[in-house]
Amino acid sequence: MSNQFKKSPFLSLIIASSIILSTIYFFNLVYTYSIPADYGSNVRSCYCVAFRLDDVEDFPYSSPLIAVMEVFKEKNIDLTIGVVGKNIDADNKQVYYYIKQRLMNNNGYNRSNNGAGLEIANHSWEHGRFLNFTFLEQSNSISKTNEKIKSIFGITPTIFIPPFSEYNNDTILAMHENNMRFISADDRDSSVYSIFSNSTIYHLPETAETGCDNCNATKSYPWANNSYLWQGLQHEETLNQIKKSIHQYGFAIVVIHPMEYSLEHEAVTFQNTLDLKQIRELVLLIDKIKKEGLHITTIGNMINHY
């Protein structure tokens, strides 16, 4: 490089300006795509959360089910609901009518994820234990439920939630036979069915919960190992599970059961009456998730956030 070239004030100004602009651009990129400090991890992450409401049926917990769905509606948040085929559009039909009205108002589930949509998942025909079923029995359960949901709601599910989160190789084969794309079960996962694979079925395991059956005793719940069998968790505890899941998996699936929003759930004498205290915990949880800057989506839409 010549001395004349070195001494050019205009060149120095251009170089300095370029460095400043590059620094600003880099800072903006880092700022735009920065993540909360608590979630530092080496895994790819969408920093998103999906809520999964299980055991959606017309009895025996219609009041808690409708109340939970209403919370998500009021918060303008999408929700994945696991419908039990045999027990929907049955008994007093309150849950069926509620879902039907929501779908009519939204022209079905809005897959653009604009909020307050209901994404319907298959939660089997009558909530039996799939590990005790043959391949044919599993496939029939999935098929009958899909047909029922299609007939009453006009939607064919692509998500399967195995009862008790139990599944085996026959479950995967049965899902293939019924054109299902997603399974949400326990936290067993593999590269074959991982969200990052090119598989035709993606496994998005449940990684957090708002209540639990036979919870391990904790400082918050010292009674968990005695006669109480079902506890509703405080929102801080569920939020910690979500943070841990995002660090480990890059996402979180939060499981909700109607039982923890039913009065007397901690004494296992469930009532079809709403536990307002536990509903309040759900509202606080959603508010905290939003405050953390995490996205709330559905199971079926989660892969679109990567």
Nearest-angstrom CA–CA distance, 53 and 79 = 7
Residue 253 host element (H or E): strand 251-256
pTM of the model: 0.80
Of the given ranges (34-38, 40-44, 65-69, 265-269), which has the lowest mean pLDDT? 34-38
pLDDT digits (tens, 9 = 90+) for 74-101: 999 999 999 999 999 988 899 999 999 9
Domains and CATH numbers, the chain: 42-212+233-258+289-305 (3.20.20.370)
Cis (ω within 30 of 0) for the bond into 205? no
pLDDT at 125: 98
Give the pLDDT score at 160: 98
Torsion sign, CA atoms 246, 252, 257, 262: positive
CA distances from 153 to 20, 28, 32 (A): 57, 45, 40
- Residues 157-206: pLDDT tens digits? 999 999 999 999 999 999 999 999 999 998 765 555 566 666 688 889 99
Q: Is 292 helix (H, G, I), strand (E, B) or coil?
A: coil
